A and B are shown apart, each in its own frame.
Chain A
Amino acid sequence: MTQSKRVGLFVTCLVDLFRPTVGFASVKLLEDAGCTVEVPAAQTCCGQPAYNSGDLKDTKAIARQVIAAFEDYDYVVAPSGSCAGMIKHHYPELFADEPDWAQRAHHLAARTHELVSFLTDILGVAAVASAHAGTVTYHDSCSGLRELDVHDQPRKLLASVDGLHLREQEDAHVCCGFGGTFCIKYPDISNKMVEAKTANIVATGAETLLAGDMGCLMNMAGKLQRDGAGIRVRHVAEVLAGMADGPAIGEAAHKNGEAVGE
């Protein structure tokens, strides 16, 4: 590699607040692949909560913020198909009637990628140097799958993890029922959907569930834990980066230990 690629990491609000480990795993994967990673401070969220609630005014304000904050990077990478899809597909639509911003939105969209597919499709990473003993199953989050064609990429990299065995679940591509604000507006239906999902996960007999989006992961982790299923839940980046030693999502910190980062 002649010159290191400058990547702006779009952390995502859920990783920032709930699971910084995923952020550091993303940084490690990107740096291992030869990128220089920066994290602009002027980022909060991609705006989906407002966008999916019909609040275009706030969505645009947040989108302008993101566009401005990430304008100077070679690439923008997010450990989430949902947030990357928002920037890549929906930002340009948002500004269809504002030519200046539309141009900037398109410019950003063209350089924005979901983490795992960026590693494989853009950087050409074919294997990672990490180990994870045990059986995992992988859930395809909707936006990553249908907006960004993220399907084979995580499976390809997981296959290179030493000791890891992937067992596919039935209906891996069916929505887990999270849907952002959907799970708050329609908790009964959301529950029905996540019940169907966790039944398929449990049926695999896998010890660990992986996926690429924190929202879906928190939904499925919360359900599995409520049911006492005993399945650990992690973001796929944690395993790929070899950073899956700490507590899984929704698990207590190790005995005598503090929560990660304290």
Chain B
Amino acid sequence: MYVSTSSAFKSNAARELKNADLQTALGKARGHFIDGRQTAVDRLPEFDALRDRGRDIKNHVIEHLDFYLETFEENVRKAGGHVHWARTAAEAQAIVLDICRSVGATSVNKGKSMISEECGINDALEANGIRAVETDLGEYIIQLRGEKPSHIIAPAVHVTRAQVETSFREAHTHLDPARNLDEPPTMLDEARGVLRKKYFEAEVGITGANFLVAETGTSIIVTNEGNGDLSQLLPKVHIALASIEKVVPTLEDTATLLRLLARSATGQEFSSYTTLSTGPRRAGDPDGPEQYHVVLLDNGRSAMLGTEFQDMLRCIRCGACMNHCPVYQSVGGHAYGWVYPGPMGAVLTPSLLGIAEGGQLPNASTFCGRCEEVCPVRIPLPKMMRHWRNHEHEAHLSPGGYRVGLGLWAFFARRPALYRLAAGLQARLMARLARQRGRFSSLPLAKGWTRYRDLPAPEGRTFQSLWAERRRGGGA
């Protein structure tokens, strides 16, 4: 199971801010994602209208989730596949293990899946003597490094090129030590070379699913490396892991969401590979698995229905919110401490793990609004982070000292006459203390501020007192 360190966000973040490799890697990736998306969006004048449609499609599904899930299940069965319902991550693990054992699997190939991360599938497989091989390049890199993904679509975005080279040379000891690993294409070739053999050894292939199409019982993955296709087509058994909100009514709806997804995620008009899987191999098919299973995971999502967090279930996992988030771009994904980082993670983590564990994350936002501005399905992320802060305040979970300070401030802010008096005194006092320089380089009550920057001093009198003077004829 993925053990969360979200409650330690603050110390995680402090660590990552000092992580030079991470900062280098983030700096390199940032412009690539942001510029790529903008270029793709600029080329599609109807993009905002498409966002509205995407939002409406997902809202409709969420309002009728039971119907579409049951329709999906029925159509998977009709196509000869199996649907398994998992209430929790532990149930999903057990289902996957049972399927693997039923075919005597010793090796499993994995396509990229955040649900697999959420459920800790790799650890569960390894603990039962089954080798799990990640086939997405980014996932493969972090598997070699013994790490977790730091981004939902670019799992190794925190790793520098030099670190990848080191990991490859350590792991691929059978290859020529003098080989060239200077460029991404040579690294990709090496990973492909090593992985190619493993595709033929696995008895089971596990992928995620970007969408589940109710009308056809189809699961869909989008990739750029083609690894997902090989992972699911070559083994005898294909297991698709998906959370329940991934269901979409029709193929036409899916097309709308696919157009939004690729542009928002990588700035592509369409991903290199869009793979539709409907049931196992049929007579006459050139390839395909003998068994096709879909594991539908709830793990706390159905409890979000009917709450102020329901809109979060629209998320199509493009990662645009984190690519544009200045907080994520400062600390990287691992600081968030669980599967989902960035703004979407700041809403989802407390929803799935509880506010005691995830409550820090929705606080770590300036509400700058860029995430909502780029969200392809218009999720009001800042508003939902604010909802979590409301819950935190109501439950008296915010830090004691902070609450006292806030309470004191509110006491004055609710009493204008008293406030004017206090502000006037404060302005004069601070201006007097700082007279020589016009600012403070340290101030006992503002240490968080003055540790890194000076605090400008007040000019000396409050506007209200000067205005009153002017009105009395004393001023300008």
Interface of A toward B, CB cutoff 8 Å: 11, 13, 15-21, 23-24, 39, 41-45, 47, 49-56, 58, 61-62, 65, 142-143, 146-147, 174-175, 177-180, 182-194, 196, 218-219, 221-223, 225-226, 247, 249-253, 258-262
B50 at interface by CB-CB < 8 Å: no
| Chain B residues with CB below 8 A from A222, complex form | 439, 449, 453-456
Interface readout for B362-379 with A: 1 if CB under 8 Å, 0 if not?
011111111011000000
Stretch of B97-105, B285-293, B339-347, B407-415 at the chain-chain interface: B407-415
A261 touches B370 (CB 8 A): no
Q: Is B420 an interface residue (CB 8 A)?
A: yes
- B-side interface residues, number (CB < 8 Å): 70
Contacts of B456 in A (CB 8 A): 18, 218, 221-222, 225, 249-250
- Chain A neighbourhood of B457, CB < 8 A: 18, 250
Binds A, one of B243-251, B311-319, B326-334: B326-334
Q: Mark B359-400, 1 if CB is under 8 A from A, else 0.
A: 000011111111011000000000000101111111000100
Please name all residues of chain B whose beta carbon is closer than 8 Å to the beta carbon of A247 when the two chains form the complex.
Answer: 438, 459
CB-CB < 8 A to A183: which residues of B? Answer: 448-449
Tell me how far the C-beta of A62 lies from the nearest C-beta in chain B, rounded to whole angstroms. 5
Most buried by B among A41, A54, A65, A146: A54
The answer to the question of B464 belonging to the interface, with a C-beta cut-off of 8 Å to chain A, is: yes
Which residues of the other chain, A, contact B330 by a CB distance below 8 angstroms?
A: 189, 192-193, 196
Q: How far is the CA of A221 from the CA of B457 in the complex (A)?
A: 11
Residues of B within 8 A of A261 (CB): 459-461, 466
Q: Which residue of B lies closest to A15 (CB)?
A: B463
Whether B454 and A18, one on each chain, are in contact in the complex, defined by CB atoms closer than 8 angstroms, is no
Please give me the residue from chain B that is nearest to A185 by CB atom: B363
Which of chain B's residues have a CB closer than 8 A to the CB of A62? 410, 413-414
Give the chain A neighbours of B406 by CB distance below 8 A. 49-50, 53, 55, 58
Query: Within 8 Å CB of B372, what residues of A?
Result: 146
Cα–Cα, bound, A186→B457 (Å): 22
Q: Which residues of B contact A52 (CB under 8 A)?
A: 367, 386, 389
- How far, in Å, is A138 (CB) from chain B's closest CB? 17
From A20, which residue of chain B is reached at the shortest CB distance?
A: B463
- CB <8 Å contact, A252 and B437: yes
Q: List 20 A-B contacts (CB under 8 A).
A: A17-B458, A18-B457, A19-B458, A23-B466, A39-B464, A44-B416, A50-B409, A52-B389, A142-B369, A143-B367, A146-B372, A186-B327, A187-B449, A187-B452, A189-B364, A218-B456, A222-B439, A251-B438, A259-B458, A262-B460
Q: Is the CB of A53 within 8 A of B463?
A: no
User: Which residues from chain B contact A182 at a C-beta distance below 8 Å?
Assistant: 363-367
- Return the chain B residue nearest A37 by Cβ: B467
The interface residues of chain B lying within 8 Å CB-to-CB of A186 are 10, 13, 327, 363-364
A142 in contact with B460 (CB, 8 Å): no
Q: Count A-B pairs with CB separation below 8 Å.
A: 227
Interchain CB contact under 8 A, A54 and B398: yes
Q: Which residue of B lies closest to A146 (CB)?
A: B369
Q: Given the interface contacts A65-B416, A142-B367, A189-B327, does A18 sit within 8 Å of B437 by beta carbon?
A: no
Q: Measured between alpha carbons, how far is A52 from B441 in the docked complex, in Å? A: 27
In the A-B complex, the 9 residue pairs with the closest CB atoms: A179-B366, A54-B393, A250-B456, A259-B460, A222-B453, A54-B389, A175-B368, A20-B463, A252-B438
Provide the bound-state CA to CA distance between A105 and B416, in Å.
20
- A65-B416, A177-B326 known; A17-B14 Cβ under 8 A: no
Q: Are A175 and B370 in contact (CB under 8 A)?
A: yes
Asked if residues B459 and A20 are in contact (CB atoms below 8 Å), the reply is yes
Q: Which residues of B sit under 8 angstroms from A58, Cβ to Cβ?
A: 406-407, 410, 413-414
A142, closest chain B residue (CB): B368
Question: What is the CA–CA distance of A84 and B292 in the complex, to the nearest angstrom?
Answer: 56
CB neighbours of A192 from chain B (8 A):
17, 330-331
Return A191 CB to nearest CB of chain B, in Å.
Answer: 4
- Minimal beta-carbon separation of A79 from chain B (angstroms): 10
Answer whether A45 and B413 are a contact pair too, CB < 8 Å, given A53-B398, A54-B394: yes
User: Considering residues B330, B390, B427, which has the most beta carbons from chain A within 10 angstroms of its beta carbon?
Assistant: B330
Inter-subunit contact B459/A226 (CB<8 Å): no
Tell me the nearest residue of chain B to A45, going by C-beta. Answer: B413
What's the least CB distance linking A40 to chain B, in Å?
9
Partner of B331 from the list A175, A189, A258 (CB cut-off 8 Å) is: A189
B462 within 8 A of A: yes
Choose from A47, A54, A142 the contact partner of B413 (Cβ within 8 Å): A47
